[in-house]
Amino acid sequence: MTGPPPILAVGAAAIDEWYAVSNLPEPDGGAFASEVTTAFGGVGANVCVALDRLGREVGLVSRVGDDEYGRQALDHLADTGVDASRVSVGDDPSTRSVILSDPAGERAIVTAGESFRRLQLDEADREALAAAETVFLTGYTPDAVSRAVLDTIESAADPPALVFDLSGPVEELVDRSTEPETVHRLLHAADLFVAGDVAAAAYFGGPEAAVGRVAAAQRAREDDGQSSLGGDGWPRAVLTHGADGMTVVAGGEVTEIDAFDVDVVDATGAGDSFVAALIDRWIAGGDDSRAERVGVEDGVRFAAAVAAINCTSRFTQPGLPTRDEVEAFLAERGF
């Protein structure tokens, strides 16, 4: 590509070592793995591949190690439509995750490797981010990088829309990822803020507090006229509750939306695919009439469908659906 794609994600491209376990072990407990498989993951890569499957032009800003894991990640990205020209290679071990997945699809994840934690933005990265239409950032991003992305967006002549996924509990992020003070900045700067139950509880203190603080941040942003998108109740936030659905805070209103009931095979990456679909339906523009921005319920329903479909396949990326597959899924359910 001669220039950056319209959507840029900052996040890890990792190798997942997937263990199909009899149960998720309790402290001092154990489990038996009936199968061990290697798959591709990382929040940044997952979001990018999900958007690519939906027909979006998207690029990844990341860092991998100069080892077998890093080479596998780069080779895999080369087989997708994701622009990986901004994925640097360093001497640190590549980021990788061990995922324990039980028969019900619940999982536990342990991440190792320093490559993504050592990511630094160069001038070319900053220029690409400033020129993008949409920038996605995850809470697992190193704090210095998150602050650099914020500074770059705030100083851009035509700021891109910002999407932030809190991703993990605050105590898990401290000293290795985005710090609470920077999360606060992101809450007030993001056009779309997403957090799961665990992350929201750790950062906000509880569901009611989360809704209240998100709404207050939205009002302040709307009053200042700072949203990159403008109109239609921007900015927006979604608090996800797994199989129990989603809470949307938009335009001063709170909306509860149900998740789709499917036979879950593996829930790993469902949140990443959900965020990618929200970016597709709410944030990104385009000439394709099927991909134009839609209202609150239609956008969340589409994203919930993407996540539900993804849960019916093993691993994260192989089960990411195309736009036609999502529309067929919705049509079968009367939407």
Condensed to tens digits (0 to 9), the pLDDT of residues 74-123 reads 999 999 999 999 999 999 999 888 989 888 878 788 888 899 999 999 99
Average pLDDT over residues 213-223: 81
- Please check whether residue 17 lies inside any domain of the structure: no
- Domain of residue 196, residue span: 7-12+43-93+114-332
Three-class SS state of 182: helix
CA distance 44 to 49: 9
> ∠ CA(106), CA(111), CA(112), 5° rounding?
160
Whether the predicted pLDDT of 286 surpasses 90: no
Number of Cβ within a 10 Å radius of residue 334: 5
Is 215 part of any domain?
A: yes
Centroid of chain to Cα 132: 17
Question: Tell me, what's the pLDDT at 118?
Answer: 94
Q: Is 191 within a domain? A: yes
Mean pLDDT confidence for 15-39: 92
Q: Is residue 21 part of a domain?
A: no
pLDDT of residue 227: 57
- Whole-structure pTM value: 0.90
- Cβ proximity of 270 and 240 under 8 Å: no
Which of 323, 197, 319 has the alpha carbon at shortest distance from 267? 319
Beta carbons of 13 and 64 less than 8 angstroms apart:
yes
Lowest mean pLDDT: which of 53-67, 149-163, 221-235? Answer: 221-235
Residue 287: which residues within 8 A CB-CB, separation 6 or more? none
Q: How far apart are CA 44 and CA 14, in angstroms?
A: 9
Q: What is the pLDDT of residues 113-126, one digit of tens each?
A: 899 999 999 999 99
Residue 37 inside a domain? The answer is no
The DSSP-derived string for 14-61 is EEEEEEEESSPPPTT----EEEEEEEEE-HHHHHHHHHHHTT--EEEE
**Average pLDDT across the chain, whole number:** 89
pLDDT above 90 (res 261): yes
Confidence (pLDDT) at 302 = 96
Q: Name the pLDDT band for 260 (thresholds 50, 70, 90).
A: very high
Q: How many domains does the chain have?
A: 1
Flag whether 213 is in a domain: yes
What string of DSSP letters covers 241-284? -GGG-EEEEETTEEEEEPPP----S--TTHHHHHHHHHIIIII-
CATH number for the domain that contains residue 312 = 3.40.1190.20
Confidence of residue 23 (pLDDT cuts 50, 70, 90): very high
Average pLDDT over residues 204-222: 83
pLDDT tens column, 143-182: 999 999 999 999 999 999 999 999 876 666 667 789 989 9
Indicate if the pLDDT at residue 135 is higher than 50. Answer: yes
pLDDT at 233: 47
Window from 6-10, 79-83, 162-166, 281-285 with minimum mean pLDDT:
281-285
Residue 26 located in a structural domain? no
Residue bearing the bigger pLDDT, 249 or 292:
249
Q: 127 lies in a domain?
A: yes
